Structure 1
Amino acid sequence: MSTTPAPPKPAARSGTAAAWLRFAARRLAGLAAIFLALLVVSFLIVQLIPGDPATALAGADAGPDEIAQVRHQLGLDLPLWDQFTGYVGNILHGDLGTSFMYRQPVETIVFNRLPFTATIALAGIVVVLLVAIPLGMVVGVATRGGRRKGLDTTFGVTTGFLDSVPGYIMASFLVVVCARGIGLVELFPPAYTPRYGAASFILPVAAIVIGPICTVARVVRRETAVVLEADYMRTARGWRLPAMRRHVRWALPNLLTTTLTLSGLVLTGMIGGAIIIESVFALPGLGSGVIKAILDRDYPVIQGMVLVIGLIAALVNLLVDVLLGLIDRRTLGGSHVCA
């Protein structure tokens, strides 16, 4: 008796769709909570900065009346709660305020500097994932079962050392060696100038990715060693399946869950590292903008840049969570935790 294959059960599809809807609801709620926290932090952080911006704007020779007038114009004489509600109201209407120093909209200043920080951060994220995952897998496969102990030791010592070097020290070292020591200023310019264009980002990206590459590669190497000893991988080796097929089709998806979970935290930290790296390489990004705004006590610029940097970090984590959901649907259930 011939039988026809049963069509796919719609329940499975509806279950997946429901899981994605629950995932989206949780992540949107998380983004809303992060946004609220950023509003509070970005407002209160400027209150901790010593000094009075009204005094700085009025000038060293200004009298008390002139300083009071400037403070009134800036709204700094209002109660703290009134300042906060006004700040939140402006943000919800898409207004980040006006710079005390430049008398320009803060969004104009932020978005003029944002491409530099975004270029370093996004390029760094891509480089870390493209280099660290294959590197860790190759070392993990080569040292499987205790083989090549010398390679395993060298890999661990080298990555551990490079990972321990702070980003600003690595940046300074690259400037001295690449741009100054071996004289490749045209290829590796030590500071940003329009003349060099994209070449000005080579050393900043290199400085920001070396540590994260080592961190992620060490995790990938460890996860590769665990996955290769799993029963299904032993069965695949017993069937004499091609090594590339075994490692890419079965080993890689199973180690990516843990790897991307850690990578979300590492890549978020890279955004903070980009702020410091920009100062070393004189890039006119958000990092140097925040430092200058703090020195000038330009509260609206500080608040706007802190808010934008925080939202970028939240979006990076959201992207990692989405990738995890595409790779392993079990993470849609909420068992995966990513800051």
Structure 2
Amino acid sequence: MSDQAVGELLPGSPARPRAGGGAGAQRSAAARWALFIGRRLVRLVVSLLVLVAATFVMVHLIPGDPVQTALGDQATPELVALRRHELGLDLPLIEQFLRYLAGVVTGDFGRSIVTEAPVSDLLATRFPNTLALAVPAFALVILIAMPVGLLTAVHTRGGQGRATRSIFVNVTGVLNSIPDYVLATLLTLVFVVAIQAFPAAGNDTVGAYVLPIIALVVGPAASLSRIVRVEALKVLDAEYVRAAKARRIPTALRYWRHVLPNMLTASLTYGTMILAGLIAGTVLVENVFGWPGVGTVISQSVIQKDYPLIQGILLVLGATVLILNMIVDVVLGVLDPRSRMGEL
């Protein structure tokens, strides 16, 4: 087989013009991409509708009367009934849901039962602070896990580096087993209470970001690096990688063009699975560090049975995960077109 033929079989190799290509092929590729994006958008909309319904039902299953809780035991039955009527809580559940769905579509999440402030205003103030932790934490998980997993796979390939493999497996296993809120508490005791190297709460300084992000990154990065190593070992033993090596393609180029793209598909797919856990971890870690995000609000709102506030926070957190999942799907489609072949 000629070098040209081998090159065409290698994933990541540049596409060569074929007879009959040109404008028609470009239009066909554009149509396939439009179909791919369209299906992802439809899936996103359906998932968001399911999320709204699930959030509404779950919150209304919380026992007790939220209005009575908010007004206190001294409130008269007349005052409780009036407040329930103002909030629409005396309507049938299906009507409450339809009103809530119409409000969500227009960006109106209702008003807090306790403070009577618009939930959208609170989210606009608090949610950016939560994203300020979650987004860099997720990026660091990817940036740490990918090279660590790949380098470990290279050094432990073919039964080599048994000591490296043992250290990697044991260390990542321990780090992955530590709950993020436990790690956050330990970091607080050591670096805030004992050493006093970082602020105890707030987000006013750059140093305030360090400990919360470390608490969020350690477990997911350890977990993802294990997956990356397994996937990298599969790719390194693949026929197309051996063929690229036989053609004396430089090592750096071989890893960049043939190993990395094929390894990323499964690794990033798993990365989206840990994203939901990372968002949940953000809520818990915020409470440990007194971070002014939605995490420090949702626990109190659950205790107070503040339906609109709980629904708004859960919906925004869930929608963030769904949107990021769709973005990762599109990135995977760009990196590895084979990942979308079943839908085109």
Q: TM-score, normalised by structure 2?
A: 0.89
Read off the aligned partner of 2:329 and give its amino acid letter: D
Q: How does 1:26-65 map to 2 (within 5 A)?
A: 26-65=39-78
Match of 1:247 among 249, 255, 276: 255
**Does residue 264 in structure 1 map to residue 272 in structure 2?**
yes
Cα drift, residue 56 of structure 1 = 2.3
* Counterpart for residue 23 of structure 1: 36
Distance of 1:125 and 1:99 partners within structure 2: 31
- State the match for 1:312 in structure 2: 320
1:203 aligned residue: 211
Pairwise CA distance, 1:271:
1.1
Q: Letter of the aligned partner of 2:66 in structure 1?
A: P
Match of 1:119 among 127, 132, 135: 132
Give the number of equivalent residue pairs: 327
Q: Could you tell me how far apart the structure 2 residues matched to 1:116 and 1:58 are?
A: 30
| Alpha-carbon shift at residue 190 of structure 1 (Å) | 3.3
Gap runs ≥5 in structure 2: 1-17
Q: Does 1:220 align with 2:233?
A: no
1:69 aligned to 82, 85, 89, which one?
82
Q: Kindly provide the CA deviation profile for residues 88-110 of structure 1, in whole angstroms up to 9, marking residues without a partner as x.
A: 12222221111122221110001
Q: Which moved more, 1:58-67 or 1:247-256?
A: 58-67
Instruction: Give the conservation status (yes or no) of the 8 Å contact 1:19–1:333.
Output: no
Question: Please, what is the CA RMSD of the aligned residues?
Answer: 1.9
Query: 1:189 maps to what in 2?
Result: 199
Which of 92, 107, 119 pairs up with 1:79?
Answer: 92
CA gap of 1:312–1:18, structure 2 versus 1, over 3 A, is same
Shift of 1:6: 6.2
Q: Does residue 309 of structure 2 align to residue 301 of structure 1? A: yes
Paired with 2:72 and 2:299, the residues of 1 have a C-alpha distance of: 21
Q: How far is the alpha carbon of 1:257 from its aligned partner?
A: 0.7
Deviation at 1:62, TM superposition (A): 2.0
State the shift of 1:239 in Å: 4.0
Q: What is the match of residue 129 of structure 1?
A: 142
State how far apart, in whole Å, the 2-side matches of 1:252 and 1:57 are.
Answer: 55
Match of 1:280 among 285, 288, 294: 288
Identity of aligned residues (%): 38
**Distance in 2 of aligned mates of 1:103 and 1:241:** 66
**Cα pair 1:97 1:106 within 8 Å, conserved:** yes
Shift of the 72–6 alpha-carbon distance from structure 1 to 2, 3 Å rule, reads closer
- Corresponding residue for 2:121? 108
Structure 1 length as normaliser, TM-score? 0.91
Distance 1:334 1:273 in 2: 34
Q: Matched residues in 1 for 2:281 and 2:309: separation?
A: 20
Paired residues of 2:203 and 2:209 also in contact (CA < 8 A)? no
Measured after TM superposition, the shift of residue 7 of structure 1 is: 7.9
Contact 1:43 1:84 in 2 (8 A): yes
1:292 aligned partner, one-letter code: Q
Give per-residue Cα distances to partners, 1:113-154, cap 9 Å, x unaligned. Answer: 111111111001110111110111111111121111110111
1:242-282 superposed Cα distances (whole Å, 9 cap, x missing partner):
32222222211111111111111112321111111111111
1:331 shift after superposition: 1.9
> Shift of residue 286 of structure 1?
1.4
